[in-house]
A and B are shown apart, each in its own frame.
Chain A
Amino acid sequence: MKISGKMASFFNFLLGDSARAFGALSVALVALLAVVPAADFLRDWRGYQKRYLRLVRGRSDATSLTRRFQPGLQQIWMPELGVVDRCPTCHSALREASLGDVKDQPFRPHPPIPHSVTGFGCVMCHRGQGAATTVEEAHRSTKSWEDPILPARYLESSCGQCHMERLTGTPLLNQGRQTLARYGCVRCHVIKSPDGVAMTGTDDPPSLAHIGAKTTREWIAAWLKNPQAYASSATMPNFQLPDDDIRDLSAFLIAQSTPYLASREAAPKVPTDDRALKNGASLFGESFCSSCHAIQNAAGMLVGGNLGPELTRIGSKAKPEWLADWLRDPRVYDPDTQMPHYRLDAQQRGLLMAFLGNKTDPDFLGNRHFDPPTSVQIDHGRALVNERGCAACHEINGVKKADNFAPELTLVGSRPLAKILFAPGVAHTLPDYIAAKIRQPRSFSTSLKMPQYTLAPEQVEALVTALLAQTERAQKMPTALRIPPRRASDYHAAGQAGRLMEDLRCFSCHTINGRGGDMAPDLTWEGTAVTRPWLVNFLKNPNTLRPALIRRMPKFNLTDAEADTLADYIMTVYQTPAFDRDSIDSSRFTRADAEHGKELFYGKYACQSCHIVDPDKDKGYIGPTLTQTGARLNAAWVFHWLKNAESLRPGTLEPVWKSSDEDARALSAFLVAQKIAPQTEPAKK
């Protein structure tokens, strides 16, 4: 009663007569109208712009900084890219390099990158809500917007939206894409590059069609239990199967295995004495098996390459008769293997078998022993193979590769957070979700099929980076902006030499005409570079050219005829169109030319930093030894190499000298005068 009475008198006081009512309503209206400008006046960005002006006021270039400063809302708008960025409203100094010493955001200038900030905008790389005008909404996920700023560690993913080729500046993205292909991710998940091409695996999962000939059921079981216990470098993930499932899977895999066309040649006699083991080890070393295969040394360190599987416990895996066949010609068992066909004789094969057969680990196999498989076990094993998707990677008799076995990840980098079920303890951001999923897939649900990978933290970070590049924006990007990858060529050499090159798997290590590995030099113009006698000798007996390399050309034990066939082909076909191999006649070099070249070699060019000409004096071993340049290289090649080596062999470490004709001629004269008769060895017939 009392309160309503007071209210009544208050209203009476305000609106009692018309003049008072007019005055009071006017005041109220003015106050109401002031709300909008006041709210506008108090916006975040106005404060930042004022702070920026205060910041630059005391600096030596204050005048030009202030002149370039644009007040008010700033916006980068690129309709064709779907970019509306108001970030420069607060980040006023993005293009002011002279503010490099400022450490406080939002006033740091943008670090140098190959793109202009105004040409691409901010959200293309950093994500976030470009149209927002408050700090909170621009950077973090809010109720209405949920694309927060991308953490700096994953920034390289944004390069991957347009760049499908390998960039020097994005090592993490490159590693991530390589890991997706090498660890078989792309065999279950479809991941399409922005140009619509699905990524393909670069791992070489073995066919299991003849597995029974290669290994035992006990080994299969131990391997399935924990592949990394067999080889720490194994890329096969752990499917975390119960022992009963492992028993039944191994039963099925042995049961489906068919015999392969084994050689009828008797297996070589395997010596067992200590000397044979030692000689086997030397032969393993001399054949440069370790260029591709790693073996754990006594200290537990892996020594060797990763092109082929690790061989630390091969003796516990391979059946001797299979190993004998494999060493004779790997393609009999696996026509697609990357392993070259070494021409080993029976005695050499025996030595290698002794050495490899001795690489056993009884702990790995444990006490497993299986009775012959029952049909119930085999049927259950078959069901498991289908359920677990084994055929996505491996060829298995009677099992078809399932399509769309796992969710497609083409757009995983744009997956809306609202559609993601987070496991407990995972931060609610997309990168954290993807990382958690890769680290421990089953933590999201024990019924998930995705296996457990053994990855280093850096590999996980790389994978997340590569997956975050798979955005909707990348798919919608104008085609002109996409930088396509260098697609592998399917070059094959022709004829008898071509067949020989396939047999020796030259392309596993060497690149020729865009196809092949990167372990060894590109041979596209090799015929212009080398002399035929040297090449024939090298093919038969490769000697050390580059002392700093640990991966070396193996000795294939070629016959004279084989070496001749290869040399003829290389000398005829692999010729650069840029100049003629015989265009410089080395017999016309004078002694004075060579003397001058020597001065240049040791003086102006200091070639001895990387190359050895005088083995007693020179020490550099980055580049090939040049003691037999005259026997090995053509004068014209040396001359043009000194002009521009990069154009002759892309990726070479040799600097581009752009030497004058006179210098290049003198150096060529000095180098082709270097001849030491190569050691010859009677060829194998």
Chain B
Amino acid sequence: MNRTWWAWVIPMMAGVGACARHPATPLEPQPKAFGAEVILVSGDKQVAGVGAQLDQPVVVQVNDSKGSAVAGAPVRFAAAGGVAFQPDRGLTGSDGQFTTNVSLGGMAGPYQIVAATTDSSGKRAEVRIEEIAVGYQERLGQQLNAIHCIRCHDPESTPERVSNHDNLSAQAHAFTEGAVLNAISDANLIAIISHGGAALNKSPEMPPYGNRLTKSEIDALVAYIRAVSDPPYRPQGVFYATN
């Protein structure tokens, strides 16, 4: 009994001593159980301003090899590029889930977050989570999207904003639909926004915004559409309008 007591206290004292200089670093929690895999519950693909905290927390769950949730398993978050977690490590709760608030780094672009757990033998299991940081231009585009585009281009309704998506005969593409939108060049996107869908033989249900939005506002919208695209948009060389 006595021996166990010392075996616990000495490393803890050492730990406290080591951490005294860096009070921000919490003590590594002692796992109470281990799982075999970690899965994402919610909070991926969020868009936030550079350096800002994501609106929704990121929630992951640790499962055992049979796929049922494990409580008290260790979870650790890590990411490059100045991403901050609050907290960045801990044990899963009674529902097997672990929740953290994420602040993205100071540069615009996609960020990858890794949530990892270890099993009893120390083997790592991890899940990769994508988040998107937007700079000034994309953020302006995000605001303009919320005013002019979202009602038709977002199929989801909220209590404050009913979606018009399903009322159209041509289905408007959500801005995250990279498979479709990445194939459209910047010049064509700008042409569709400015002159309406009919300008490129697409549906006239997309009205022209060239007289409503300024050139730089349309550029901002295109930057936003590119920023949230999934799969991510990769520009290739110079594009010219094809129609």
Contact = CB atoms under 8 A, between A and B. Distances in A.
A609 B205 contact: yes
A621 B101 contact: no
A152 B167 contact: no
A355 to B, nearest CB: 22
Given A113-B136, A656-B211, A657-B211, A108 B107 contact: yes
A250 B88 CA distance: 45
A51 B139 CA distance: 32
B164 interface: yes
Contact of A169 (B106, B139, B152): B139
B135 A111 contact: yes
A111 B148 contact: no
B61 interface: no
B216 A606 contact: no
Contacts of B139: 169, 171
B167 A620 contact: yes
Contacts of A658: 211
B136 A168 contact: no
B143 A646 contact: no
A169 B101 contact: no
Given A152-B106, A172-B49, A655-B207, A609 B55 contact: no
B212 A655 contact: yes
B140 A609 contact: no
A398 interface: no
A483 interface: no
Contacts, number: 105
Contacts of A644: 211
Interface residues on chain A, size class? 35 or more
Nearest to A168: B143
B182 interface: no
Given A151-B106, A644-B211, A655-B211, A606 B204 contact: yes
Most buried by A among B135, B207, B216: B207
B233 interface: no
B164 A606 contact: no
Interface string B119-145: 000000000000000011101100110
Contacts of B37: none
Interface string B50-77: 1111010000000000000000000000
Interface in A151-181: 151-156, 168-169, 171-172
B12 interface: no
Among A108, A169, A548, A657, the most chain B Cβ lie within 10 Å of the Cβ of: A169
Nearest to B57: A457
B3 to A, nearest CB: 36
Interface string A79-123: 000000000000000000000000100001001111000000000
B50 A609 contact: no
Contacts of B162: 548, 621
A461 B53 contact: yes
Nearest to B234: A101
Contacts of A609: 152, 164, 167-168, 205, 207
B160 interface: yes
A458 B53 contact: yes
B103 interface: yes
B216 A114 contact: yes
Contacts of B159: 303, 550
A621 B152 CA distance: 10
B203 interface: yes
Contact of B144 (A168, A457, A604, A619): A168
B232 to A, nearest CB: 13
Given A112-B137, A458-B55, A604 B198 contact: yes
A153 B23 contact: no
B208 A155 contact: no
B219 interface: yes
B215 to A, nearest CB: 12
B204 A603 contact: yes
A457 B101 contact: yes
B148 A153 contact: no
20 contacts: A111-B135, A111-B137, A113-B136, A113-B137, A152-B106, A155-B50, A168-B147, A172-B52, A458-B53, A548-B161, A550-B160, A604-B204, A609-B168, A610-B164, A620-B167, A655-B207, A655-B209, A655-B211, A657-B211, A658-B211
Interface of A: 103, 108, 111-114, 151-156, 168-169, 171-172, 303, 425, 457-458, 461, 548, 550, 603-606, 609-610, 619-622, 644, 646, 653, 655-658
